[in-house]
Amino acid sequence: MPKKIVVTGIGATSPLGGTARETWTALLAGESGARPLTEDWVAQYELPVTFAASAKVPQEEQLERVEAKRLDPGSQFALIAAREAWADAGIEQMDPERLGVDWSTGIGGVWTLLSAWDTLRERGPRRVLPMTVPMLMPNAPAAAIEMSLGARAFARTVVSACASSTESIANAFDHIQQGFADVVIAGGSEAAIHPLPLASFASMQALSRRNDDPATASRPYDRTRDGFVLGEGGAAIILETEEHALARGARIYAELIGGAVTSDSYHITAPDPEGSAAARAMIAAIETHGYSRADVRHINAHATSTPVGDIAEYHALHHVFGDRLSEIPVSATKASTGHLLGGAGGIEAIFTVLALAERTAPPTINLNEMDPEIDLDVVRQPRALPEGDLLAISNSFGFGGHNAVVAFATV
């Protein structure tokens, strides 16, 4: 018989705040995490994009110096978020062999890798740090969490571009259902605000170039949208069986009713314009345990603010919900946070959970002139969600044609 799986802890460090609650409060207030970059390398490399959504609270203020020194920034974000979620869940004791980690990244330890390459070229192999490979490997964040919190069931890593952390949450659902763990720490992190990723994304015309006004640069669904804003941070949720949560008297935010992944098999960077595979992922996530598309009352969209991506997701949503789509409140929260790449799905899962727990759909900022080809009920100001049982989905799509969707319900 399927287990009921619930969310009992949340944690995040993001462009909007150093904790999950600070991030949520800033999101509801309509704040933007995008800001000018002040590092010397912006001018040194003459970057065409001079802003990003960098973490609001430096990692150095949240970790011990010795600890941070041995971790890539992406792993630092992961550890900060996971520890907050763990404390929020209030688990005092459990069998470590029943605790697992499902984590993700889209790129991995890019700062460690490229800094080590600079050291090798400029100073020779003897100056390359021995911890370079353990710091740059994509599974380093999962390993850091596992060792910090004593998880011995498993520590798994998903790398599926911008769909990564949503896929990790979907995997965690399956791993608990299959009996591999009673509790799983799931989410993702990314630290890619570095000259090379910025130059590469800019070269492919994926980034907004509103250097004169970063706070309004990310504008999902707007007719004038011109690309996403690169963000960074990490987000974690604690998932456990309802039986385990009730036995310890835990506070429950929401139920995770399912997750699903599909692939487009279309193009390495562009989404399938028809959105058929993305639609299949939504349907599968919603209908896992007998729910129907008619039950969905809120959507946290992937909505990166790219011209082709936003409209492809709209087509997928219309395929799933038909004419009823215009009645479902849609939040596009990357307008505030920027795009956290492999960490995006984690922070947006938290937003979806809190939207249900507090019955409040968060706003989409910077939407001034709706794209006439997109017919959605986009939430512009915090909006009360109705009473009664609610179902919400969170979408994530990534380079390579990866699609991942998770669905949550009120408790």
- The residues assigned a catalytic role are 162, 302, 339
Q: Residue 311 and residue 113: Cα distance in Å, rounded?
A: 35
The residue assigned the tokens 């938290």 is 350
Indicate the residue type of 157: T
Distances 274 to 55, 311, 378 between C-alpha atoms, Å: 34, 9, 21
Q: For residue 327, give the nearest of 318, 335, 316 by alpha carbon.
A: 318
| E strands present in 15-97 | 35-36, 51-52
DSSP reduced 3-state for 211:
coil
Phi, psi angle pair for 187, to nearest 5°: 155, -155
Identify the burial level of 317 via C-beta atoms within 10 angstroms of its C-beta, where 0-12 means exposed, 13-18 middle and 19 or more buried: buried
CA atoms within 13 A on the CB side of 280: 10
- Cα angle: 293, vertex 185, 218; to 5 degrees: 60
